[in-house]
Amino acid sequence: MFNRFLAASVAVAAAALALPAAAQAGDPGETAFNIRCKACHTVAPGGAAGPVAPNLRGVVGRKAGASSYKNYSPALKAAPITWNAASLDKFLAAPTKTVPGTRMVMAVSDPNQRKAIIAWLAKQR
Ligand code: HEC
């Protein structure tokens, strides 16, 4: 009886431990996006813009400033950029240097974090 109780407790404890481990195993790009980008951006299906920034679903392969977002800066709208891994990496490293006049000011200095975010964005189609 006692042994069975003990075995059940161990199983419950193991399950409880497994949960946070699973949560941590999420996509590092998604985690970084949620922390650094989601306050302004959405990747919701349908393309509707977030309250203050363009929807980033499908951004890889899209021309800069070409979503249905209404409040693009003239600078980003006119920028001769198509978003791919290289152009996103450059933009995210230093947005206001890459596109002077852009209203996107969130730089990501860590190259690994940029890579993870871009890889995750590429899957949001
Ligand atoms: C404080 C709000 C804010 C945050 C945080 C933010 N952005 Fe932006 N982002 C903007 C705005 C506003 C624009 C539109 C800029 C313009 O029109 O010049 C933009 C534009 C962009 C664009 C160009 C979209 C297009 O349609 O051409 C990309 C790509 C982008 N952001 C990626 C990111 C990523 C990745 C993060 C997180 C690391 C991030 N942004 C964080 C506000 C934000």
Percentage of the chain with pLDDT > 70? 80
- List the chain domain ranges: 27-122
Contact between residue 36 and residue 42 where contact means Cβ atoms under 8 Å apart: no
| Alpha helices per DSSP H over 1-125 | 2-24, 28-36, 74-78, 85-93, 95-98, 111-122
- Give domain 27-122's CATH architecture: Orthogonal Bundle (1.10)
pLDDT, tens digit (0-9, with 9 covering 90-100), for 70-125? 999 999 999 999 999 999 999 999 999 999 999 999 999 999 999 999 999 999 99
Which residue, judged by its Cα, is nearest atom 13 of ligand 1?
A: 104
Q: Measured from the CB, is residue 29 less than 6 Å from ligand 1?
A: no
Q: Measured from the CB, is residue 39 less than 6 Å from ligand 1?
A: yes
| Residues forming beta bridges with residue 82, ordered by sequence position | 63
- Centre of ligand 1 from the C-alpha of residue 19, in Å: 32
